[in-house]
Chain A
């Protein structure tokens, strides 16, 4: 199982500020996925990135896959209270299974 390290573990910001969550590994992944998990619910897929250097945008969320396909970032512009939640990254490695990071808990204060 490939290890994915997410940072920071917790992030609390004011509404309107920007934030970035990082997902790093020493392993190469064939793809990397970002999920959001609400309390009492299962993870919900936000995006999948496959190509090294790929950038995907989902409204105010920007996802980037590192050139070497070992790391990824999630950037939220002008965060809103509705962005509050647990963000998980998960990579698919050479074992073809999803390996999850520990998650970043994001709190956006109004």
Chain B
């Protein structure tokens, strides 16, 4: 069964460093998402991406964050200068259609980011 994959599973970085989290969405999906989950807190929407453009973003997704689909398979989340509070589990998701109410989003296993 097709699945969303994410690498690395765990990333440790120093505060102020740039990190790139990678995701390979399901191949026939057109909509891509990033969510984060700070330890003990809710899963929070960060950004959605369609047709090589950001379609929605939350207030969390500030200028320190960027997303890219550098090729036909990868979808990346870049944090330019990491802060301690960026430590969280980051989930990538993808869906065929973009209607959140009816188009199932399939989540990857997540990347645990630890900022020291």
Q: Mark A residues whose CB is within 8 Å of B.
A: 1, 30-31, 40-45, 48, 50, 88, 90, 92, 95-103
Contact = CB atoms under 8 A, between A and B. Distances in A.
A40 B102 contact: no
Contacts of B48: 97
Interface of B: 4, 35, 41-45, 48, 56, 58, 91, 93, 99-102, 104-110
A57 to B, nearest CB: 18
Nearest to A99: B45
A102 B105 contact: no
A41 B37 CA distance: 12
B58 A97 contact: yes
A33 B42 CA distance: 15
Given A100-B42, A102-B42, A103-B42, A50 B102 contact: yes
B101 A100 contact: no
A16 B14 CA distance: 48
Most chain-A Cβ atoms within 10 A of its Cβ — which of B42, B48, B93, B108?
B42
Contacts of A88: 43
A97 B57 CA distance: 9
A28 to B, nearest CB: 12
A45 B104 contact: yes
Given A43-B43, A95-B56, A97-B48, 12 more contacts: A30-B101, A31-B101, A40-B110, A48-B101, A48-B102, A50-B102, A92-B100, A92-B101, A96-B101, A98-B100, A99-B45, A102-B42
A95 B48 CA distance: 12
A2 to B, nearest CB: 11
